[in-house]
Structures are given as structure tokens and as C-alpha cells.
Amino acid sequence: MKDKRRNIFLNVFFLLCLFLGSLFLMTQFVKAGTSTSTGTTTVNGNYPQPTGCTGSGCGTSGDSTVPGVISNLSVSSTTSNSITLKWTAPGDDGTSGTASAYDLRYSSSNITEGDWASATQVVGEPAPAVTGTVQEMTVIGLASQTTYYFALKTTDEVSNLSGLSNVVFGSTLPPVAPDTTAPAISDIRVTILSVDSVRIAWNTNENATSSVVYGLTTNYEIGSVTGQIFTTSHSLDLSGLSAATTYHFKVKSTDANFNEAVSEDGTFNIGDITPPIISNIQTSNITGVSARITWLTNENATSSVVYGLTTNYEIGFVSDESFKTTHLLNLSSLQPETTYHFKVKSADANFNEAESADQSFVTRDAAPPIIFNIQSAPQIISATISWETNEDADSQVAYGLTSALGSLSSNTNLVKTHSLTVGSLQSNTQYYFSVKSTDTDGNQASGPLLSFTTSRDLLAPSNVNSLTAAAENQKVTLSWQNPGDTDFTGVMIRRGSTRFPSTPAEGDLIFQGRVASFADSGLTNGTLYYYTVFAYDSSENFSSGAIASAIPTSGTPIQPPTGTGISGGEELPIYLSDFQFSVAQGKITVPTNQEISFLPNTSLKINIPAQKLFSSAQQLILSVDNSSYLLKFDLIKNYWETEITLPGTVGKFPATLIINLADLRTKILNWTADIVPFGRILEKKNGKEIPVEGVKVSLLTSPTLWPAEAYGQQNPQTTNANGEFGYLVPVGNYILHIEKEGYQTQETGYFLSRGVVVNNQLQVLAIPPKLEDVIDPNVSVVQNIVNVAENLGEKTSFAAKVVSQKALASAKDAVKNANEFVNNPIVKETTKDVVAPVVAGAAAVSATTAVGASQFILYLRFLFTQPILVLFRRKRKGWGVIYNSLTKMPLDLVTVRLLDAESKRVMQTKVTDKEGRFAFLPAPGKYLIDLKQGGFKFPTDFFLNFKEDHAFLDLYHGEIIEVKEKGAVITPNIPLDPLGEELPIKKIIWQLILRRFQHTFALVSLILAVVFVLITPGLLTEILLGVQVIFYGLFLRLAYPRRPKSWGIVYNEQNKNPLERAVVRIFDMQYNKLLETQITDNKGRYSFLVGRNKYYVLFEKLGFDKKQSETVDLQNYKEPSAIVAVDAGLRPQEGEAGNKKIKKM
């Protein structure tokens, strides 16, 4: 796996080197065919002139004097495809001033005023110089051995057009014979660089490119490595090779005229000089006197372990001379509770030996725990087994109906006081059991074989629910839902003619069995029948009864009268506190409120002591969700009771309890059953919360599980497809423990449950994949960079969430254990393998978040597509510039795409540097330039009808560009209009706070990286420190503003104190467009960097009057950029004069 990763990164590195070389070669062509701003301008292609005034004297400013006519146009030199012209610059108005533009045209015949419009227009004429200056221009792209006629006109600033110059002609020279001879290849040589790489070098007799094709056969199927730099001394490296393997190769070189030379087949072989790679060292089966050491190698090799009480490994060694890749050796005769040091060694058949770093393990003690005080507390269908041990150990209970046992319940928490509840037992049954406990060293102790007998089942099942009675002709059809009790056996239906049967012995028995519907036929139409459905269990315990009534009829159904079958009387109030509500088989009492919360389908038990009724009750009826139930009287306990199953849907359900007393009075109680949703485990993906299935949710009351079996529930629970779980618990403090493979194991910490429902909604954190798992050798370098950046971002987000969960608990321990932390070997390993990479990822994400992920990727693209611009930008002049049309400042990291004019297919893509520069070197054809930049508009509206903007010539507005000859460079200047969005002050301040936080975070990440190097010196942490420095540099380069050389101060006009967080905006004077917004610092300072133009500044702060500066005119400023820093005093508004002063720093 490590070889694979190394091969991937080496291949990427060499491909990038070759790519950079090819770009360097391209720049040589560009420099050869591109002029500087002070020399001859080479022009190729056609830039259509913007529409506008073309007639003489058609300006709008009152200037009707045309420029002077050029009379000394001449031909100075010719080549096979170009002619150079010279002339003397005329004036703007006759022979004075400076004109605005030239219009140079040529034709194969003489040019006159009459056929001027049909002559071919040249694009890229130089700007007119001062009157009397000699100027020249080279027209290229001409046919060889051809005579051309040239003429020139001049325009001023209002498009007054001069007369026709003198007409000159010149003839191009014959064409030059092409080079058809391929380079001569000589002196091919192979040098072994490492165990998996070689360097192939050769010479050629002329400058040419470099290429090597190679493979295991003469088909050269592996691929090729290339270099585009033209040279006579060639050298290319091949990496990712296998030892002891013969490779075939050929070298190729191509000169500037595409003549290619190919060598004969050659071969090379790297012998096996690589030792085995040792991995996955593990210690297992550790006891008090022995241990097993295992490891893997990537090739067959021998096995050896040296060990001792120190790193001198003084005890000796054990070995196995057989060759294998899976190694296992046992160490014996060790001492209990002792630390041993060891190293593993493996040598291959060529005697290349590998040795691991120092490892250690501690032998265990040999004494098992002592078990005592074993207790059992049986209930109806469960039993709680408890015991104690003299040391921390796990808990296990084996149990069954015979001495063979057969079932097991366990808890892996290590404690001294043990308690386990086993459930799903049979009532009134003897069970055998034995307890076991295993300590941290694997020593296990067992208790004696004991037994217990579960209690007799005296609990009745819940009533059936959703009982309905549908009347038909001489028939009533009853339907219901049976309860979910595990020991439910069936139902008994009793029918009464005057009242609802209140016991299983009252009324007529019309059905008994395990179904969910029954049709009572042979009835008399028009007669009211009362039905009670009793559920019963295997112990013949009967529920209190669910009731319904109906009147059979042959016509329209008759609605039975509402009521109970007993005449009512005076209604008297009754208090909710008189009743007892309970769940979990009556073991958990529910707090009595007017609105009581339950989980869906909860079995609810309700009872009321008879003495609370103050009179003999004849019948009690409970109605919930359109279902009615009887309460039965328990003579022994002297109270009325019932158990029902609440609705399975979430919502609030009114409930009514009617108590009919013997004295004909009626007591009525109204309350609400609030059915709340189950708890849910969720994962946040793309801003949405997604339920997670299969999560193990454990409810803890301490380090041990809450004994849910004793309450007829399961613990732990596993979430369903909706991520749901839920517990019914007594009032108390609880912990939820959440775990699932691939997710961070979490605990909530203690929380107080005041009701009976535990239905927390919790979010789990998916553990990000390992870095090596996201690198795909089959995708591009840029895609892998994106994959790595996303992975580091996921790790950072994951780490931040984990840290925030544990920060409070860790804060106190951090100070106390600082020295132990630094010297702890586990901390050292964790720092190296986990924390340092995560903090590096955090710095990456901090940089990419502050910069913007898209801008970060653009910067990487710029580095990969324009490296020569970075290395030699001071030497280069022939570039187009993307700039702010109002401030004249260049725009950094703008993506510029060259499109085919017909298909709109992207032909080339470039990213501007911090000086806004770019250039395209395309093949002949027709093209468009496309670009998009946030906060700006293209094409420009302000300069739509202009060809130049002060120092920026050849402005581009989206026209088609035609390239007629190979080697031409497209370098127009492109102005973008700022959108000038005015943000609210609060949002601006928050952005400022966020930027300062990001800067602090990036700096802290760098400091932490230094700390990690001190804790765990090594190659990995040092590399990660380098990554931190790079990302911090990126943050300062792309996101953090440079410190200005001068400042403007905003201050209180009354007391002269500087004003912090004042909002300062700068506007373009001509178009009144917002250019930039800043917030003053604690010294009241601000500063704007702008270009040559006119501006004004607007100042505002809450509690002060707004203020606008005078015009700041920088149009004639000699430098291309300037700083606007105007001091401004703001007047406090009425009532604000006593504002809190800001101290001067």
C-alpha cells in the first residue's frame, strides 16, 4: 500500500515537472514573437472597431478641427510575410497637440479616398505620439512575393478623421525553404536513481523536445514521460518501477519544425536492493508469562524477534528461518506485570534485512478476580442478578431452565459492583444461573451454580384498542387491535342488554379466541346491545375491558345513545392528583399533569383508590381517541384500575374519565394524552438531517446499563430506518451512549429525566476516510487536490465538533496533566498520527474558508498553468490585463477562457496573477474570450464604445478575434465593471470579526504545529509544520489585506478621539459607483488602494452625522496606484455628545 502511494505521488511530481517545462518552452515562443511596449508592435488578427462616429467633425464637444494629414508614410523594411512602415506623427488639431488613434489600411492595388472603405484595416496600430515623433509599425501575415499598397488616416478625441496620407507600396520577399531534417540522437545512457526509479539521458545535434516511451514489452504499454523544453542535452526520470524486472524503452526528440527522431529499442533492469517492508506489528495473547508477536512483510522473508527489559534487548531472541509474509513468534518464560521491549526483523532471499522501531508490551497479572455477595431479585418475567468483585472486571450472567444454562447476558464495562437484568423469562418458573467476571488482564473467575424462581404473573394484559361496533341488519360486527403483551393469549367478548358487562363472568359470552374481529348475528333490529371485550394472558389474567355499543337495523344505521348505560346525576369535579398513572407494567409512575407525555403505543395503567370517590362507584369508563374502556375493581388493593394501549400516532388526544356513583352522581375528569415522537439519531449531510439506521443506543445510569428488562423494555436499542429509539424511565439522571461502525462513539453526559420519556434527538459524526483512501490514481492531479482538500476539510470539521463536545470536561484536566500529556507515549503517537494531520487540515480549511474554496482552487490552477509568469514576471511585457474599470487596479485570480467562436468549446484556460495578467497562444482560427468574476460585470458598460482607456490599449468587449497565423498571441486588455453592492453595517462588521478570527485560527494552527514537532520530532510532524507554513502564507497572500503605508483617521469632531468601527466607503466620482467598504480599527484608521481616477469618500457611524469628503483627483498621478487616506471628523448627533470615549493608542 505504501509503495502504491509513493508511486502515485512520484508520478504526479514528474508529470508536473514535465508540464512546467513545456510551459517554459511556450514562453520562449511567446517572447520570440511578442514586442515590448517601447519597441515594434507585432499584430495579427482582426479586432473589429466599436461602432461610433466616423465622419469628419462629428464630435459632440464643439471640436471640428481635423488632425493633420500624414505626408511622409514610407516602407522601411520587408520580409517574406511582413512589411514595416514609418511616418511622422501629426497633430490633434492640424499640426498641434496629440491625436487619438490611427487607421492604417492596405490593398493589392492603389488606395484612394473612393476605395478607402474597401481596403483591409490593420488592427493594433500604435497610439499617436507627440507631433513630430517618428513612429513605425510592422504589418504581418502577408503573402510572400506580393506587392501591397498602404495608406493612413488619423482621428482625434471626438472622432474627427483626417484626410488620406500619401500612398506607399512594398513587395514581400520570396518564402524561406522549410527544415525537414530530424534531430540526430546519440549517447543514450541509463542511471539507476533508487529502488524504483531510473534516469534516461541522451544528446541531439540540435534543440529538440524530450520523450521516453517504456513498458514490459516492445509495445511500450506502460506509457511515456515527456519534456517540452528545447535542448540538446536530454534527461527524463522514470519512477514507480519494480525491482528485478526488465523494461523496454525508446527515446524520442522533435525539433521546432516538428521533425521527430526515434531511437532503437533499449532495456534496463533494477536488481532487488530493497529490504522487506514490515507492517502491522501486533502483540496478542498476552498473559502473565507469555506473549505472541505477529507482523506482515510485503515479500517472503525470515522472522526474528529480539527482546529484553530495556532497549538493549538483553534477554535474547527467537527466530524462524522459513520464508513467509505472515510472521508469528511466541515469547515465553516472562514475568507477570512487567514491561518488555522488542524489535522484529525480517530478511529476504537476497539478504536485504528490515528492522522495526522499538515496541513494548506489559505482561498481565495472573490472579483472577474474587467474586462475592451474589444476589438475585426475580420478578414476573425478569430477574436482576448482582454481585461484587475485588477489582474492576466485566459482568456476565449465564442462565437457563436447566443446569446446562444456554443463555448469556453481559456488560463490558469494568466495575467492582455488578448488576445485570435478564428478561423475556417465563413467570413462576425456576431458572439456573452462574456469574462470571474477567479483569483487564484476561483472568476470569466464575461463581457457583445458583437458581431463582420468577414470580407468579398477576398482571393483566392491556386492553384491546380501537374497538368499533358496526351495526347491520340483525348483526353487529366488532373489530379491534390486540395488545402487544408478550403473554397475550386471546380475547373474551361479553354482551349485555342493559349495561356494559364489567367482569368476564357478566353478560352473555358470545366469543373467545385469538382474532381481531367478530360478527354477532341473529340480533333484533332496533335493540341496543352493549359489548365488552376482555383481553387475557396465559395466566388467565383479564383486562378491565374495552366497550362499544350498537343498534342493529335494516335501514339507515341508528346511532346508539352516548353514555354508559347508567343514568347520570349531578356532576362533581375530581382532581387529577387523585389518580395514579404508570407505565412499564405499573413500575414507573408518571407525574400527574393536565397534559401527560407518552411515546406512541405506550401501555398506560390508570388506577384510583376507592376512598377518593367518597361514595360507592357503580362503573368507571375511560374514553381516549374514540375508544372506551371499563375500569375494574381490585378487592385486595381496594382500587379501580385499567390498562390501555395509547395511540400509535404523534399528537394530542383528549381523554375523559366518567365515574358513575351509586347515588346517581357522576364525576368527570378531562385530561390530554400528548403522544410525542420517538428519539432520533441523525447525521447532517449537505445541510440536511438524515436519519441513521443501525445505531446502537445504550441508556446508562452509571458505567452500567439501565436495567430495561425489568421494565419490559430492551437496552441497548438499535435504531430503525427512521433512526428512532425511545425509553420509558423513572425520574433520574441518565446517559445515552451512541455507537456505530464508521461514526464517532458519543455520550451525552448526564441529563435529568423529569418525565418518563427519553426521546432525545442526537446528531452523530461520520468519521472521515483516511487520506490515502481519497487519492485516486485514475483521476487528474487537480481532482486529487480537490479530494485531499475536501478530506482535510471533513477532518477539520469533525475534529472541531468533537473538541467542542469535550472542551469543558478537558479544560480542567489539561492544566493538571500538562507534563504527563507531553511525555505520554500514547499522546506522542496520537499527535503524530491524528492531531497534527487534523490541525494541518484545520489550517487548510481556515485558509480556504477565508480565501474562498473556489479562489483557493483558482490559485492552485494559476500555479499549475502559469508557473513561468511566477518565475519570470518582471521580464515579461506582452500580456493582456484584467482590471477594475473604475479604480484601474488589476484583478487577481480571474479565470479567463478562450472559446472557439463557432462551437463555443473551451480551447484554453488561464488564471490572472496579482497584476491581472494573462496571455493566449492559440492556433489559427476565430475565438471569443469569456470570463466571470464575482462582484464584477463583463462586458463593460462604461467603456463599451472605447478602444483604449488611458494606459490600457486594445480594450476587449466580447468581439470575435481572428488569428490567421501560427505563433500569434492574444493579449487584449479587459475592463470589468464593479457591481458596487452596499452591504448593511452589521454584516460588514461580522465579516471583519470573522476575518480576524480566521487569522487568529491560522496563526494558532501554526503555533500548534511547532508544539507537535517539539512533542514528537519526526519526518511526518516536520512535513505537517511545512504544510502549516504554506497554508499560513496562502492566507496572508490571498485573504489577509496588506498593511497600508499610510492611513486616514476618522475621529470625533468634538473631543478629537478616534472612532472605532466607523464605516468608510469610497465611490467613483464619474459613475457614482461604490468601489470598496472598510471598517476603522481601534485607532480609527482606514486606507484604500486605488488607481488613476476621481473619487470621493463617505463616512458614517451610528450616533454621528454622515460626512462626504471633497473630490480626490488622481487622474494625473504619476504612479499607477495610490492610497486614499482622508482624515475626517464626525459630528455627534444630539444626545450622543457624551458617547464613551475611545482611548488613543
At 406, which CATH number?
2.60.40.10
Q: Are 553 and 525 in contact (CB under 8 A)?
A: yes
β-bridge mates for residue 308, sequence order: 341
Q: Determine the Cα–Cα distance for residues 954 and 51; give it in Å rounded to an integer.
A: 14
Number of domains in the chain: 6
Query: Do residues 703 and 665 both lie within one domain?
Result: no
Query: Do residues 594 and 706 both lie within one domain?
Result: no
Query: Do residues 386 and 525 both lie within one domain?
Result: no
Distances (CA, A) of 1119 to 217, 411, 1097, 1122, 1125: 63, 78, 21, 7, 16
Query: Do residues 532 and 620 both lie within one domain?
Result: yes
Query: Do residues 669 and 690 both lie within one domain?
Result: no
Kindly report whether the peptide bond that precedes residue 939 is cis, defined as omega within 30 degrees of 0: yes
Q: Are 639 and 617 in contact (CB under 8 A)?
A: no
Query: Do residues 691 and 721 both lie within one domain?
Result: yes
**Per-block mean pLDDT, blocks of 10 residues, the chain (1145 long):** 51 54 45 34 36 42 79 92 92 81 93 92 90 91 92 90 93 85 94 86 94 95 91 94 89 91 92 85 90 94 96 95 94 92 91 92 88 94 94 95 93 92 90 94 91 90 92 94 90 94 92 94 93 93 93 81 48 74 87 84 90 78 90 88 91 89 79 92 88 94 81 90 93 90 85 81 87 76 74 71 54 40 41 44 44 44 42 49 82 85 84 83 87 82 76 83 81 83 59 62 67 63 68 55 71 88 85 81 85 86 87 79 85 61 35
Q: Please give the pLDDT value at position 83.
A: 93
pTM, rounded to two decimals: 0.41
Query: Does any domain span residue 325?
Result: yes
Residue located via cell numbers 437496552: 715
Query: Does any domain span residue 1028?
Result: no
Query: Does any domain span residue 400?
Result: yes
Query: Do residues 421 and 495 both lie within one domain?
Result: no
From 675, 702, 722, the end of a domain falls on 675
Q: What is the dihedral of CA 321, 323, 328, 334, to 10 degrees?
A: 10
φ, ψ of residue 76 to 5 degrees: the values are -100, -30
As a whole number of Å, the CA-based R_g of the chain is 45
Q: Are 881 and 953 in contact (CB under 8 A)?
A: no
β-bridge mates for residue 138, sequence order: 42, 84
Q: Please give the pLDDT value at position 1016.
A: 60
Query: Does any domain span residue 911?
Result: no
Q: Determine the Cα–Cα distance for residues 842 and 33; give it in Å rounded to an integer.
A: 46
Burial class of 1073 by CB neighbour count within 10 A (0 to 12, 13 to 18, 19+):
middle
From 675, 696, 714, the end of a domain falls on 675
Q: Determine the Cα–Cα distance for residues 342 and 353; give it in Å rounded to an integer.
A: 16
Q: Determine the Cα–Cα distance for residues 751 and 758; give it in Å rounded to an integer.
A: 10
Residues 6+ positions from 741 with CB-CB distance below 8 Å: none
φ, ψ of residue 1027 to 5 degrees: the values are -60, -40
CATH code at position 693: 2.60.40
Starting at the edge strand that comes first in sequence, how are the strands of the sheet with 1085-1086 ordered? Answer: 1085-1086, 1048-1052, 1128-1130
Query: Do residues 325 and 438 both lie within one domain?
Result: no
Q: Are 1010 and 1027 in contact (CB under 8 A)?
A: no
Query: Does any domain span residue 103?
Result: no
Distances (CA, A) of 606 to 645, 678, 761: 11, 22, 29
Query: Does any domain span residue 992?
Result: no
Nearest to 1038 by CA among 881, 874, 847: 847
Distances (CA, A) of 252 to 19, 182, 743: 17, 11, 53
Query: Do residues 194 and 212 both lie within one domain?
Result: yes
Q: Determine the Cα–Cα distance for residues 771 and 748; give it in Å rounded to an integer.
A: 29
Q: Determine the Cα–Cα distance for residues 713 and 707; give it in Å rounded to an integer.
A: 9
Set of cell numbers at residue 150: 498602404
The secondary structure of residue 854, as a DSSP letter, is H
Query: Do residues 645 and 623 both lie within one domain?
Result: yes
Query: Does any domain span residue 890?
Result: no
| Encoded amino acid at 719, one letter | T
Domain span at residue 339 reads 278-362
| Kind plus residue range of the DSSP H or E element containing 867 | helix 867-872
Query: Do residues 322 and 380 both lie within one domain?
Result: no
Query: Does any domain span residue 137?
Result: no
Q: Please give the pLDDT value at position 188.
A: 95
From 729, 747, 763, the end of a domain falls on 763
Q: Determine the Cα–Cα distance for residues 688 and 763; give it in Å rounded to an integer.
A: 12
Query: Do residues 629 and 535 both lie within one domain?
Result: yes
